[in-house]
Amino acid sequence: MTEGLPRPWRVAIDWIVTIVGALAIVLAVKAWVVNPYRIPSSSMEPTLHCSGPSNGCLARFSDRVLANRFSLHFREPRRREVIVFDTPPQAQASCGAGGTFVKRLIVLPGERWRMENGFVYVNGKRLDERYVQDSRRGADTREEERVPAGHFVMLGDNRTQSCDSRTWGSVPRANLIGNVFAVYWPPNRISLSVSAALVVLGVVVPVRRRRRRGAGSSTRFR
SS (H, E, C) the chain: CCCCCCHHHHHHHHHHHHHHHHHHHHHHHHHHCEEEEECCCHHHCCCCCCECCCCCCCECCCCEEEEECCHHHCCCCCCCCEEEEECCCHHHHHHCCCCEEEEEEEECCCCEEEEECCEEEECCEECCCCCCCHHHCCCCCEEEEECCCCEEEEECCCCCCCCCHHHHCCEEHHHEEEEEEEEEECHHHCEECHHHHHHHHCCHHHHHHHCCCCCCCCCCCC
Cβ neighbours of residue 45 under 8 Å, at least 6 residues apart?
56, 57, 58, 136, 157, 158, 161
125 an active-site residue? no
42, 43, 71, 193: which is the annotated catalytic residue? 43
- Residue 180 and residue 220 in contact, taking contact as beta carbons nearer than 8 Å: no
Cβ neighbours of residue 17 under 8 Å, at least 6 residues apart?
none
103 an active-site residue? yes
51, 62, 103, 170: which is the annotated catalytic residue? 103
Q: Which residues are catalytic?
A: 43, 103
